[in-house]
Amino acid sequence: MDDIQKYRDLFFEETDEYLQSLNDNLLQLEKDTDSPGIIDEIFRSAHTLKGMAATMGYTTMAELTHSMENVLELFRSGKVKVTSNTVTVIFKCLDKLSEIVEDLRSEHYPDYDIKSLLYELDALADPKMAAKDEVDSKPALGKSDEISDMDADIIRSALEKGYNAFSIAVKVVENCMLKGARAYLVVNKLEAQGDILQTNPGVEDLEEGNFDRVFKMIFLTKETKENVREMIENVSEVEEVSIDEITEEALPDHYIMTEDAEVAEDGNNANKNSKEILDQKKNQNLRSEEKATTIPTATQSIRVDLSRLDNFMNLVSELVIYRTRLEELSSKQKSTEIDEPLEQVARITSDLQDLVLKIRMQPVNVVFNRFPRMIRDLSQELNKEIDLIIKGEETELDRTVVSELGEPLVHLMRNAADHGIESIAERVAKGKEPKGTIRLEAYQEGNKVVIKVSDDGKGLNPETIRESAVKKGIPAEDLDKNELIQLIFNQGFSTNQEVTNISGRGVGMDVVRQKISSLGGSIEVMSEVDKGTQFVIKLPLTLSIIQALMVHVGTETFALPLGIIEKVVNAKPGDIKESHNEEVYVYREKVIPVVRVNEKLGIESREENQHIILVMIGGKHYGLLVDDLIGQQEIVIKKLSGSLGNMKEYLGATILGNGDITLILDVGNLCSGKGENFE
């Protein structure tokens, strides 16, 4: 099993991709049931998933995907009609497969009961017709595989470009228990060095080990015959290998796969071209006559362990720190000789910094791609018609931000479907289209990414919010419409009268704001009654290297993320007033709660030359009172560990150019609980 273990991580990565592809394509198929291309793609994904599971020895997955494949084949042949109900059954199977994969990933191996799913799949198909299809799909017996005209042209083109073409026969040992696994390992090794054009037996039988002891391939590569033989013989339980070179002279009359005299014919000639394999291996190989003119070379991308990427980021961060240190020392020493090489070091460091940040970037579709399926299921559960429109899914964010973005977006999307979009009857009564619309949009704006979640539903009623606030003891009589709407971010605040399994438990929006704030971002909400609601989230591109405002609080130095700062004003005597037992600052006729940072951190203030830093958190303004300003600086965020890591007042720490360690303030937590009496 050692050889199989090597491919465990690869199995999980590819399985995740195939499951996501199946989800996406099933959603598309439900909308366009007459598209044979989508059905073919779904069938190929399920078929590949089945083969991978069988190869790894995951029998429950293989059994379930095999039954799915039978139904999908009936979809493809038109013998079973694609409906919302049939698609729902397939979705149930995908959910179970995802559950199994997560258990396998965590090395948890429970016994699964999939009888009900298998029964539902069987109920979709006519058993007699399914049995007949199974018989018809059995490969015909034959002695050799003839290369098609298309494949012959591909081989000719490959030979012209300096490739070698080999007819290969592989015999496994007599008592081999995992013939499919051995075939899979051979195929994987060869595909890393070239292209497999044809297999005998066919794809399905090869993956499932449905052959006696011998399987054959036609292989295009620039490797020598000896190297190819060595690669195959290094796979466990391979008894014998026969390799014949295919020459140009053999092709005009259709080259026949030769059979080595010492390697017995297995009798399972499927006469299937392995373009099915090529389709299922991410288009690595030649699939058509057009591809004959462009033989693919080695892959241009690699998978990198995330810990290595983090180490790379940490090393670049250290370079940024010491570059700043060198620049400070050079300025103090006033040495002109070091200026030119230091400028080069600064340029290279900046280029490295840009490069590592780009490498860390990840498209938001990693999060967005879960929502089409989620909205589809919610619309059925709520008996509503909902159309989801997604734009800008290619927009990129730091992978750290992307990984934390899922939870708040899921809550916003579920709220939009449950509270936002009305029932069909309500929408018709209001003169709206029966089908509601939820929009999810992302785009880059300067050094930030903006994500908008909007719906065309009932909207937020300010008066309903006011009534709910008064009942909870929150002074709301003097609040305007926008101020009332912002109250939904208060802890435990909800206007929903009915608790459902989707939302309405009085929790959630405060958690959304806290999560967005912890990512250095902000969230605002705009709403019109009977027109809809829009949430606007703004996030920094990266959380690793940021621009910060350095400040003094007492004798200590702290850093504030620049992205949330709107303005800095001098605090003159009398500027800070008392209101509702809290200190406030009036700015442009707006009452802003003031947070004395020294009191929050337990530091004695100098109370001279103080400044108020106006920040925007969750659609609210706050004023942070600090003793002095130092200036703007690019800083590297370092995570805090131990007891410091549990202190909510700090996002992390950074090392300044002089070597001092400075803490970075978590503004969202510092402002938490402030201003709830009047905003």
Digit-coded pLDDT (tens) for 177-236 = 788 888 888 888 888 888 888 888 876 778 778 888 888 989 999 999 999 999 998 888
Q: 74 or 656: which carries more pLDDT confidence?
A: 74
Residue 262: pLDDT band (50, 70, 90) is very low
Mean pLDDT along residues 319-339: 78
Average pLDDT over residues 239-266: 61
In which band, very low, low, confident or very high, does the pLDDT at 439 lie, cut at 50, 70 and 90? very high
Angle at alpha carbon of residue 113, lines to 109 and 119, rounded to 5° = 145
Count the neighbouring beta carbons within 10 Å of the beta carbon of residue 205.
22
3-state secondary structure of 317: helix
Residue 299 has pLDDT above 50, yes or no: no
**Model pLDDT, residue 438:** 96
Instruction: Tell me which residue of 69, 108, 107 sits closest to 90, measured CA to CA.
Output: 69
Residues forming the active site = 47, 69, 415
Percentage of the residues of the chain whose pLDDT score is greater than 70: 82
Tell me how far apart the alpha carbons of residues 65 and 554 are, in angstroms, rounded to a whole number.
65
Per-residue model confidence (pLDDT) at position 656: 77
Q: Cα separation of 367 and 469, whole Å?
A: 34
Q: What is the Cα–Cα distance from 369 to 610, expressed in whole angstroms?
A: 48
d(CA 356, CA 662): 24
pLDDT at 178: 80
Average pLDDT of the residues in 616-641: 82
Residue with tokens 């008996």: 383
Q: Over range 511-520, report the average pLDDT.
A: 82
Question: Residue 571 above 90 pLDDT?
Answer: no
Task: Look up residue 147 and give its DSSP letter.
Answer: P
Q: Which of 272, 164, 170, 167 is nearest to 220 (CA)?
A: 164
State the Cα–Cα distance between residues 601 and 614, nearest whole angstrom.
Answer: 18
| Token pair in block for residue 631 | 């200036």
Residue 310 is predicted with a pLDDT of 76
Which residues 6+ apart lie within 8 Å of 430 measured at CB?
422, 530
HEC sequence for 412-431? HHHHHHHHHCCCHHHHHHCC
User: Quick one: which of 330, 357, 358 has its CA closest to 343?
Assistant: 330
pLDDT at 140: 30
Q: Name the pairing type of β-strands 620-626 and 590-596.
A: parallel
pLDDT of residue 72: 87
pLDDT at 577: 87
Residue 627: burial class (beta carbons within 10 Å; 0-12, 13-18, 19+): buried
Q: Positive or negative CA dihedral for 192, 193, 195, 198? A: negative
Could you tell me if 407 and 550 are in contact, meaning their C-beta atoms sit under 8 angstroms apart? no
**pLDDT for residue 676:** 57
pTM of the model: 0.56
- Strand blocks (E) in 6-111: none
For position 470, what pLDDT does the model report? 81
Torsion of CA 315, 321, 324, 328, to 10 degrees: -130
pLDDT at 635 over 60: yes
Which are the contacts of 579, defined by CB distance < 8 A and separation ≥ 6?
591, 678
The answer to which of 9-18, 162-171, 331-340 has the lowest mean pLDDT is 331-340
- How far apart are the C-alpha atoms of 170 and 242, rounded to whole Å? 6
pLDDT at 619: 66
Residue 442: predicted pLDDT: 93
Task: State which H helix or E strand residue 331 sits in.
Answer: helix 306-333
d(CA 200, CA 190): 15
Q: Tell whether the model's pLDDT for residue 498 goes beyond 60.
A: no
The verdict on whether omega for the bond into residue 201 sits within 30 degrees of 0, i.e. cis, is yes
Q: Model confidence at 129, in pLDDT bands (50, 70, 90)?
A: very low
Pair type for strands 661-665 and 565-570: unpaired
Q: Which domains does the chain have, with CATH numbers?
A: 2-136 (1.20.120.160), 149-293 (3.30.70.1110), 306-360 (1.10.287.560), 364-540 (3.30.565.10), 545-671 (2.40.50.180)
Average predicted confidence (pLDDT) for the chain = 79
Going by C-alpha positions, the residue among 478, 447, 502, 479 that lies closest to residue 620 is 479
Residue with tokens 């030359």: 609
Average pLDDT, integer, range 116-132: 68
**Which secondary structure element, helix H or strand E, spans residue 375, and what is its range?**
helix 371-382
CA angle (367 as vertex; 366, 371 as ends), nearest 5? 120
Mean pLDDT comparison of 248-252, 573-577, 625-629, highest-scoring range: 625-629
Let me know: does 495 contact 459? Beta carbons within 8 Å.
no
Among the residue ranges 461-465, 485-489, 547-551, 658-662, the one predicted with the least confidence is: 658-662
